Structure 1
Amino acid sequence: MRIAEMWVLAYLVNSLWQVPLVFCAAWLAARSARHAGPQMEHRIWVAAIFLEAVLPMCAFRADNLWQPAWSLLLWLRGGNSTDGVVRVVLGPPHPAGAALAWLSPTVLLAIAAAYLAGVVYFAAQLGWNAWKTRVICKRATAFDQSEAWNTAMTGLDHSLRTKTESLRVVVSSQVAGPAMLGVWRPTLLMPSGFVQRLSQGELQALLGHELAHMQRRDFAKNLLYEVTSLLVAYHPLLWLTRARLAETREQICDAIAADVSGGRGNYARLLLRLVTTLSELPNRSQPAFINALGIFDSNNFERRVMQLREKQFPVTSARRAIVAVVCVLAAIATCASALAWRVDVNAPSQKAVKRVAVAEKYMTLTHQVNPVYPEEAKKDKLSGSVVLAVHVSKDGVVENLRVVKGPKVFQTSALDAVRQWRYRPYLLNGDPIEVDTQVTVVFESK
């Protein structure tokens, strides 16, 4: 199996369980941050979509931090006597890679090919939508700005502190609703005959929402999220993450537009009237799946209106800080869990498996000799850790030892002790096999 194929399979296997892990953590964090406003919720879901895409490709082992952290702790503590304590930390050199060992190389190759075909499909779909959006914009006609339009734009420029000189406004019969798009030059795409049916208040609400998208550069951000999540685009929980991200994004723009539209209650009524006006358009187009963001982009319009009508309670800075700390701790715990339980995919052999890497916790020691704290280390009150790579035979005998890292003063003692250890033979499919594992001997001065 080639390295690229192993990487693809490892990414797929880990994304299957790490995406749900991140989604559940983000959902709990978003629930705790609900009263802190949609901005914080939105940031949580943005972090979630990046973690869902990036964590499965991280091969770094979180438990590797334990050894330098423990050594640093020992160094900081120092020592007050000439005695020493030796502790043994057992762990794997890397996670067990036999997750797919029962599958043949042909089947694994087929799985990797099917997954990559799915990634290509989602990438092609994104590219198709981008091309279709570009075609619609090219075919659109320039919008004839009325006096009411210019009045609304002037007022919003002052209220939102936006610069709309570069904003291009076009009209098309191929879109079902107003939409904002464009990375470098913003473009507002409007359905034909829609603006002419709006009152001054409805126009103010519509433009306030769309200009909020432009102010926040939501189109470019959303495109980045789409590209970043292509590798996990197959996962249903990623779809839910995108939906929550879109909902909170629209809630933020609703809040901005409500401030320039007479308050939340009035803005909610204007939104409902906008929907009614849009539904009454003659020859209204079916919704087009294009790369654009609009006031009706979210699929939970009803929930947005209900939230606008809910009574708002002020949130203190202290509570916001507490919620932020809780969210950061949740993110750290989630990342640590995902990395600690990461599954690697090793290349399967056409022959019977003779040797694997196994976590020490899955092996049973039948005879253990404790290392002796060196006298010279006691005299100088030295502390440190020795990491050993251990090869165990089919009979459970330690056949080969190698120092991975650690102070020289402790290496001989650690090697002499671990060399005498005996394990119960490790069985795979009922047959004893050779095992590679890792042992850490911690020497602590007291």
Structure 2
Amino acid sequence: MTDALLTWLCSYLLHSSLLIAGLWAAERAGLLGRLGMRTQEALWRLALLGGLVSACLPLLPTLPAGAPPADTARPRLAAPAPVLVASARPAVVGVPAAASLSPSARLGGLPITARIAPQAHDAALGFVALWLAGALLMLAGLMLQWAWLRRAVGRLPELADPRWQRLAARLAATMRVPLPALRHARAGWASPLLAPGRALCLPAWCLDLPDDEARAVLGHELAHLRRHDPAWRLLAAAVAALLWPQLLNRLALRRLALLAELACDAAAAAPAGQRLALAQSLLRCAEALRTQGGRAGPALACGAAGSGSPLLARVRRLLRPEADEAAPRERRALRWGLLAAMLAVLVALPAVVVSRTDARELLERFNLGDVAEPGFFSAGTRIVSRYPGGSFSVMLDGQVGFNEAEDDVQTLSGRLVVRERGGGQTREMSLKSTADGRIERDYRVGRVSRPMDEAAHRWWGQAVRRMSEQLTDPLVRARKLFAKGGMPAVLADLEAAQDDYPRRQRIEAVLKLGEPLDAATLERLIALAQRVGGSFERREALSAIARLPLADAQQLAWLQAAAGIDGDFDRRETLGALAPRLSMAPAVVEAWQQALGRISGDFDLRSTIETQVAATPEPALLRGALQAADKLQGDFDKREALDAVARQLHGDEAELVQAYARVAAGIHGDFDKREALIALLDRATLPAAGLEQVIAAAEGMDAGFDRLQVLLRVAGKLAELPAAGAGLTERLRRAGRGLGEFERGQLETALDRLG
């Protein structure tokens, strides 16, 4: 039952989304504006209700007629099960960090201590329960609202005004609709409205309207009655409540409400002279809404100013005499052709369905068939490695131990399934422990059991070695290998790793051994880290290596490996790991600049510069940082990078000060340029040449206030340089040209203090 409900709901969501979104796209493209309002309304009603019908069609042949036969196939998934995201590294599911092996654990032992995600059926059941609970609550609220409205309207006093009674009777006879009961509207209902029970409620401001406007108001509300809008509105509200997960229904309801109001406006304005009267009544209604602070009326009632009704737009439409003549009137054949096409879409949509057929075939097309296996979402370890053209997966419930050669399973408690897809076929080995300690094996090619031949034994040996690599704690493995063959054996095992994740883990395990590493070993580790393709894995591997003392040649290789990382964030984090130990050798600094140049994002580039100059504020490094800062596009990031450099300057580095001023001059915004130049003036004791460079950079500022602040700060610095002479003073005066009178006065006052 859960499967059927979930299938139906998913199909409905898909169908209704296609219908409503497609109609909305046609409207945005201007295609619906060429059609008449009746045709537009019919299309929107089909879009609102069509998904409900089309989702039911596929279920009609499968309605249960009795108990299923005994040999009925196993239940099939109602919707695609949750899918693991493909990754270049093995995705270990359900083994938290706390459950990792201790160093004393034996090779191949893997305790299973954590449960993972609930079963897919439980998730589906929860989703269906949530939908049904929400639908029941919303339907109950809708029924209470409807009952309250009928009761509230029934208690309203009747409108016994003879004039209104006479106008209503004549208009109802003309429009051939039953005469509604006229009632006084409740306080706060600012719009005339047609309520359930065929009651026409009129607010107080309507009672004194002249006859022509009164007929317009009555004509609009009686048009709602003739069109059966109260019934349509109740049906639409019930659909929206029952199928609340479909948010696009709100769009359809707004469009239908607007089209209903426009249609009733057209009907009320049809008699001669009524167009202006209806427009005036709508303006009065808008004024009542504004002055009285009331709302238009209950959502389930049909009013002249209902929910989503753009009153001013409707008034403009009524005041255009050519509106009726310009209104599109498509041919009847076109109208029925469009409706027939919409119905054909409804009939065809059941072919696009979240069906109740087996999801395995669909998942296997995307190489995700493992998630459809029984027990995939039970407690245990799940490892999935994906590579171009295939995948390797392990599902283990229990503990497993391997033989010395690591080409076969020696001990098993529980169940183990190993599967590999590639080369157009699927190989699978299922192992299950028995009560007497034996291991039952089932080897399959595709879904057919086969005896183990030479090719099967060869595949199984390779699969066990790969499984052992993935299931064994890397540090335990490294220690065992080191005890057998020393560091060469550990490095050989590292080179044999086929995936990024185990390769990174083994690099970290080598460093955790605590053994001294010579230069050749470090260079070999860096070369192996460079072979890691995944950005995250390479970042973690290089960050671990960066904690070791590296010679200049090793740092060059390390920086080359870091430069090859894809992704600004990972490259930034990697370079930050080496920042405290970066060598100031020219070749190393140049390699650092090259790696920095590979970062394209302003934030990551600026953050890397800040980290490095704070860690090693050497002139060579600051020079490279300024060159990198010049490539920043955003003014804020460039200013922040310059501020980090300024904190490390003393002021007597003529070349650095000149480079700083040149980069600051390239900032477009005057505020950020001002802050960058002031940062240099505040944090460095600049000589006369440096002050002149700051003045030159300030001259390019357009805003008078910002330029004045920099020039005043330079004037303050000149007071500390009595030997600067009149040359810089006159230079300041020239830089102040173009300032406003008030700003020039401030600058002259500061210069006068210099004598």
Smaller-chain TM-score range?
Answer: 0.5 to 0.7
Q: What do the CA deviations read for 1:104-147 (whole angstroms, capped 9, x no partner)?
A: 22222211111111111221221121122123213311212242
Question: Per the alignment, in what secondary structure is the counterpart of residue 142 of structure 1?
Answer: coil
Q: Is the 1:201–1:261 contact (alpha carbons within 8 Å) kept by the matching residues of 2? A: no
Counterpart in 1 of 2:176? Answer: 161
Deviation, 1:290, is 4.3
Counterpart in 2 of 1:41? Answer: 40
Q: Is the 1:36–1:320 contact (alpha carbons within 8 Å) kept by the matching residues of 2? A: no
Question: Per the alignment, in what secondary structure is the counterpart of residue 222 of structure 1?
Answer: helix
Q: Is the 1:55–1:335 contact (alpha carbons within 8 Å) kept by the matching residues of 2? A: yes
Deviation, 1:151, is 4.2
Distance change in 2, residues 1:318/1:134 (3 Å): closer
Deviation, 1:304, is 2.9
Superposition pairs of residues 43-442 of structure 1, within 5 angstroms: 43-59=42-58, 97=78, 99-100=80-81, 104-147=120-163, 149-164=164-179, 167-182=181-196, 185-191=197-203, 193-260=204-271, 262-281=273-292, 285-301=294-310, 302-309=312-319, 311-313=323-325, 319-333=331-345, 335-336=347-348, 338-345=349-356, 358=361, 424-425=424-425, 434=447
Deviation, 1:253, is 0.7
Q: Is the 1:261–1:267 contact (alpha carbons within 8 Å) kept by the matching residues of 2? A: no
Distance change in 2, residues 1:293/1:433 (3 Å): farther
- The AA in structure 1 aligned to 2:256 is L
Distance change in 2, residues 1:60/1:120 (3 Å): closer
- The AA in structure 2 aligned to 1:129 is Q
Q: What do the CA deviations read for 1:205-258 (whole angstroms, capped 9, x no partner)?
A: 111101111122211222223334443233221010111111111111111001
Q: Is the 2:217–2:278 contact (alpha carbons within 8 Å) kept by the matching residues of 1? A: no
Counterpart in 2 of 1:381? Answer: none
Counterpart in 2 of 1:25? Answer: 22
Distance change in 2, residues 1:207/1:426 (3 Å): farther
Q: How much identity, in percent, do the aligned residues show?
A: 23
Distance change in 2, residues 1:97/1:273 (3 Å): closer
Query: 1-side partners of 2:51 and 2:319: how far apart?
Result: 33
Counterpart in 2 of 1:439? Answer: none
Distance change in 2, residues 1:176/1:117 (3 Å): farther
Query: 2-side partners of 1:316 and 1:299: how far apart?
Result: 23
Query: 1-side partners of 2:54 and 2:12: how far apart?
Result: 8
- Unmatched 5+ residue regions in structure 1? 63-94, 347-354, 364-422, 436-446
Counterpart in 2 of 1:388? Answer: none
- The AA in structure 1 aligned to 2:14 is W
Deviation, 1:154, is 4.1
Q: What do the CA deviations read for 1:268-315 (whole angstroms, capped 9, x no partner)?
A: 34322332245444xx54455442111111413233334434534467
The answer to whether structure 1 residue 12 and structure 2 residue 12 are counterparts is no
- The AA in structure 2 aligned to 1:233 is W
Deviation, 1:52, is 2.6
Query: 1-side partners of 2:8 and 2:162: how far apart?
Result: 54
Q: Is the 1:33–1:323 contact (alpha carbons within 8 Å) kept by the matching residues of 2? A: no
Q: Is the 1:61–1:340 contact (alpha carbons within 8 Å) kept by the matching residues of 2? A: no
Deviation, 1:16, is 2.9
Distance change in 2, residues 1:434/1:295 (3 Å): farther
- The AA in structure 2 aligned to 1:23 is I
Distance change in 2, residues 1:50/1:135 (3 Å): same
Q: Is the 1:14–1:56 contact (alpha carbons within 8 Å) kept by the matching residues of 2? A: yes
Distance change in 2, residues 1:264/1:195 (3 Å): closer
Distance change in 2, residues 1:154/1:106 (3 Å): closer
Q: Is the 2:7–2:354 contact (alpha carbons within 8 Å) kept by the matching residues of 1? A: yes
Distance change in 2, residues 1:225/1:121 (3 Å): same
Distance change in 2, residues 1:329/1:187 (3 Å): same
User: How many residue pairs get matched?
Assistant: 324
Query: 1-side partners of 2:125 and 2:226: how far apart?
Result: 46
Question: Per the alignment, in what secondary structure is the counterpart of residue 99 of structure 1?
Answer: coil
Distance change in 2, residues 1:427/1:59 (3 Å): farther
Question: Per the alignment, in what secondary structure is the counterpart of residue 353 of structure 2?
Answer: coil
Query: 1-side partners of 2:295 and 2:143: how far apart?
Result: 20
Q: Which has the higher contact order (CA 8 A, sep 6+)?
A: 1
Q: Give TM-score scaled by structure 1 length.
A: 0.62
Query: 2-side partners of 1:204 and 1:43: how far apart?
Result: 28
Question: Per the alignment, in what secondary structure is the counterpart of residue 8 of structure 2?
Answer: helix
Query: 2-side partners of 1:300 and 1:279: how far apart?
Result: 15
Distance change in 2, residues 1:163/1:106 (3 Å): closer
Query: 2-side partners of 1:145 and 1:156: how far apart?
Result: 16
Query: 2-side partners of 1:306 and 1:122: how far apart?
Result: 37
Query: 2-side partners of 1:203 and 1:340: how far apart?
Result: 53
Distance change in 2, residues 1:269/1:261 (3 Å): farther
Distance change in 2, residues 1:13/1:292 (3 Å): same
Deviation, 1:46, is 1.3
Query: 2-side partners of 1:18 and 1:280: how far apart?
Result: 44
Query: 2-side partners of 1:265 and 1:356: how far apart?
Result: 62
Deviation, 1:424, is 4.8
Counterpart in 1 of 2:419? Answer: none
Q: Is the 1:205–1:261 contact (alpha carbons within 8 Å) kept by the matching residues of 2? A: no
Distance change in 2, residues 1:314/1:344 (3 Å): same
Name the Cα RMSD after superposition: 3.7
Question: Per the alignment, in what secondary structure is the counterpart of residue 146 of structure 2?
Answer: helix
Q: Is the 1:176–1:285 contact (alpha carbons within 8 Å) kept by the matching residues of 2? A: yes
Deviation, 1:200, is 2.2
Question: Per the alignment, in what secondary structure is the counterpart of residue 308 of structure 2?
Answer: coil
Distance change in 2, residues 1:307/1:121 (3 Å): farther
Query: 2-side partners of 1:427 and 1:50: how far apart?
Result: 48
